[in-house]
Amino acid sequence: MNQGIISDTVKVEHHYQPANGASECCLPSYLLSIHLGQPITLQRKIDGRRSSDYLVEGDIMISPPYLRRKLSWDTDAEFLLLRFESNFFSAITQQFTDSECHITPQLKLRDPLIQNIGLALKSQIEIDGLCNRLYAESMMNALVVHILYHVRWHTHSKIS
């Protein structure tokens, strides 16, 4: 795994996982996974519901914080994982609405802009293991704004 810690709120990770692997997690950050490499069949169990998807290069999964998920795959898997903390997301969404926003889990979507921003960040950490903080946070800002405009999300009114 190549990892670029951009700041305390943004991380970029390039993962290679062996065939017949499994992962179970419930993390406090937003996760955006971009499938790279060969096609795989991904089995998921998310909040008690099972699903199976055939993923090809460029397929994207977006998970909100604290989403309990268990994943398994049949062949070697390569993916890019972008993590951003809730406070990073909240700071951006507050510029759009006074309501609290949450991304609805997206299990498989295609979006060339999300894919290319992810690949741009990946190339930066591959060059020297680092990524310029201003560059990375600017890209992640654009990414969150794009997600808010083009991906399903919902709001909750703040309780005073």
Q: What distance in Å separates the CA atoms of residue 68 and residue 144, rounded to the nearest whole number?
A: 22
The topology (CATH level 3) of 2-154 is Jelly Rolls (2.60.120)
Q: How distant, in Å, are the alpha carbons of 14, 49, 118, 137, 154 from that of 80?
A: 5, 24, 7, 17, 26
pLDDT tens-place string over residues 53-102: 999 999 999 999 999 999 999 999 999 999 888 888 888 888 876 667 77
pTM: 0.86
pLDDT tens-place string over residues 113-137: 999 999 988 888 777 655 677 787 8
Residue spans of the domains in the chain: they are: 2-154
